[in-house]
Chains A and B, each alone.
Chain A
Amino acid sequence: MSVKKVDLSHLKPYGDQMDDGAVQLSFTLPVPNGSKAREAARQIANKMGLTDVQIVFSEDLKENFSFFVVYGHLNTSIDYNEIKVLEVETPKMSMEEVDKYIQEHVKRQIVVVGATIGTDAHTVGLDSILNMKGYHGDSGLERYKMFKVYNMGSQVPPAEVAKKVRETNADVVLVSQVVTQRNIHVKNLVELADILEAEGLRKSILLIAGGPRITHELAVELGYDAGFGNGTLPSDVASYIAVEISKRVL
């Protein structure tokens, strides 16, 4: 028995066998539920490039809305080999290694200011990077000997972040954005970058964004030095900071 191997030049989603292209999705349509609505949902899935579309569930959400759970197969594929992603390139170090690296190369504590800015009340991302406890057994920056951390918490106005940077003579600003509506996280991040620029602080700090919808590419595009997305561990961020700040010190 042979098992079909993945063809990276024609990559497709995997359901339960190679290249079946299986996709699962759900959405709401602003029309009342019924056979016409189900046909509409099917056609929408077709337009997304799915074939053999199955509307496995539909429900009346009242007030002329209906909800669908849909499965289909994707016929097209992409070439995995051609993908280039802008990623933060830093050697991965442990907490002890980072502390040692900073001691040797920067020779003083690195001051980090962290905040969740704008409308966002969620501190889960920021806390998992900064709090002693950290994330998935990886200690947060507060536990590092060579970081001095100021965690400003949530819904901090960008101007307050700038003020704190001045007060503490910060080397690094870490901003987190978790929840978003109509892409407001982008607006907030831009606003902070603008304020830091206007106050003449931008060049003297390492500006980092984090959050589930943040990529390094997006962050760089918005004028940040780096962006960290889902699954980032505190030591990833710590390693990056250590290496970047040591470059600046030299």
Chain B
Amino acid sequence: MGKPVLNLDENMVKRARKLAREITDEIQKFIDVRSTTSVERTVARFYGIDGVNHEGVPLPNVVVDDVQKSGALDRGITYWLVNACVAKSMSPQEIAESVGRGEFSLVDFPPQNESVVAEKIEELTQEALERLRKVRDERDKMLEELGDPAQPYLYVIVATGNIYEDVIQAKAAVKEGADIIAVIRSTAQSLLDFVPYGPTTEGYGGTYATQENFRIMRKALDEAANEVGRYIRLTNYASGLCMPEISAMAAIEGLDFLLNDSMYGILFRNINMLRTFVDQYTSRLICAYSHITINTGEDNYIKTSDPIDRAHTVTTSQLINEQFALKSHLKPKYMGIGHAFEIDPDIENGFLYEIAHALLTRELFPEATPKYMPPTRHMTGDIFKGYAMNTMYNLVSIMTGQSIQLLGMLTEAIHTPFLQDRYLAIENAKYVFNNAKNIGDEIIFKENGFIQKRANEVLSNAVELLEHVKDIGLISAIEEGTFGDIARKREEGKGADGVFTKGEDYYNPIFEMMEEELEEEEL
């Protein structure tokens, strides 16, 4: 769908963006003066620290905990780590292993020669950034050579718990026609304050996100991509307590997509607000640097509250997510703005509402790559009706020009997908997307008809909500349960103890240099 057909009120659109920008400006002030244990662990990872100690604790946690215990983390991990490297003439990894064996603490060492430390920091930082640029450029090159598949991309999930079995299912899906493979995480990994290590073969409802698992799946998908002659994207989840660390691992292993939302963890995982705000900034900065597309989580709002009455909360969150992403220097083409097809199938003209909502997302974010999510809450176990609903969902997507299509499974609400469920989902999408390929180009909606009116109504409700959020501030708005009908308090939630105010001598050159490079690019 090339041209706008909703006739959106331009002033309203401008007003909505301005409000969202002002709302996030306020939060950015909180973010800028803070860091988190997860952000510092990310720095450790970029400096090459990986692996676990004899108790199975990941070494990035070991070094950050070590400094935090001494009450010195407000300076950032970088200084302490590199000062120790200079003192012991060791690499960061060797230092981390020694700390992991309890041989010494990072704060044991007296300050080393300032210029030697500064030089070492510069060297390690350049090395780390060079490593990321190399991966990024390789991905970009492969995408160009193999060719970007047509949109909407067919996105499917594998979730066996065993990365090696996931590989088999993922390859089969790619050969059926899938463009994107997401390895869904083992349940509740988002609540772990560390990233598990190594290849894993056990998990519930999914497979652990580990760097080794990323590497195994990346390699398998690249092989499959070369076989089928089109680029295949790999997705994981940068949400929960380790947002920036997962982003770092994804950047190092060349992942393409990350689920990443500025508020999802706060609302749906009860993670502390400030923790999430700080972590999402850094994780998105890494995504911006490494050309990783984020997928935001607005579908969740209408899984818990009514998709028609609360449609404007989706729009509001989309606008807020967009502004946060821009602050992390993420380009719109790397924004998979989320929304979903969740209206009760018994509602009269539900299809028209879905078209209006989906088109609103498309037209509000013309440069973005909207991520559309399938029906889940009204999938019952009647797999035949479920399959029909997925067909309608696919039709809305092709009609309204969505970019990323997470395919609905007919067995949604029964079990994690069988191999055949994924095949049937891909067949359905291929059929609809081919059969109605150019339908969007042919449609002009009736002036001031149901669809135009509905889209403008949702937008206007969103503006009203944004005005309210602007008045009281985003933090208070979350405290009073504005989003997803869930209220969270500023001081509460998991991971609050990992947030700290940066000291005067806080130093974190790796992210500073990323910011600088990206700012230059923007100019």
Contacts and interface: CB of A to CB of B under 8 A. Distances in A.
A66 to B, nearest CB: 10
B176 A62 contact: yes
Q: Among B175, B204, B416, find the residue whose CB has the most chain A CB atoms closer than 10 A.
A: B204
Q: Among A118, A124, A180, A184, find the residue whose CB has the most chain B CB atoms closer than 10 A.
A: A124
A179 B415 contact: yes
A220 to B, nearest CB: 22
Interface stretch (B25-33, B209-217, B311-319, B418-426): B418-426
Given A28-B419, A123-B304, A184 B171 contact: no
Given A67-B420, A181-B204, A62 B414 contact: no
A122 B172 contact: no
A173 B176 CA distance: 45
A184 B204 contact: yes
B187 interface: yes
A174 B379 CA distance: 21
B205 A181 contact: yes
Contact of B188 (A65, A124, A153, A155): A155
A28 B420 CA distance: 6
A119 to B, nearest CB: 4
Contacts of A167: none
Interface string A230-244: 100000000000000
A63 B413 contact: no
B420 A27 contact: yes
For this complex, into which size category does the number of interface residues on chain B fall?
A: 20 to 34
B419 A119 contact: no
Given A26-B420, A178-B413, A179-B416, A119 B205 contact: yes
Contacts of A155: 187-188
B37 interface: no
Nearest to B171: A63
Contact of A180 (B377, B380, B415): B415
B168 A63 contact: yes
B381 interface: yes
Contacts of A181: 159, 161, 204-205, 415-416
A59 interface: yes
Nearest to A125: B413
Interface in B481-523: 486
Interface in B20-79: none
Contacts of B486: 153
Given A122-B413, A123-B303, A124-B413, A65 B205 contact: no
Interface in A6-60: 26-28, 59
B452 interface: no
Nearest to A153: B304
A27 B486 CA distance: 41
Interface string B454-466: 0000000000000
A61 B423 contact: yes
Contact of A67 (B161, B379, B423): B423
Given A119-B204, A230-B381, A63 B303 contact: no
B160 to A, nearest CB: 9
Interface in B358-391: 376-381
Given A65-B172, A212-B413, A119 B304 contact: no
A212 B413 CA distance: 9
Interface in A178-230: 178-181, 184, 212, 230
B172 A62 contact: yes
B337 to A, nearest CB: 21
Contacts of B304: 123, 153
Contacts of A62: 171-172, 175-176
B511 to A, nearest CB: 32
B414 A212 contact: yes
A65 B175 CA distance: 12
A28 B168 CA distance: 14
Given A124-B379, A180-B415, A181-B415, 11 more contacts: A28-B420, A61-B423, A62-B176, A67-B419, A119-B205, A122-B413, A179-B414, A181-B159, A181-B416, A184-B204, A212-B381
Q: Which 6 A-B pairs have the closest CB atoms?
A: A119-B187, A62-B175, A63-B172, A62-B172, A119-B205, A28-B420
Interface of A: 26-28, 59, 61-63, 65, 67, 118-119, 122-124, 153, 155, 178-181, 184, 212, 230
16 contacts: A28-B418, A61-B176, A61-B420, A63-B171, A63-B172, A65-B419, A123-B303, A153-B304, A155-B188, A179-B205, A179-B414, A180-B414, A181-B205, A212-B381, A212-B413, A212-B414
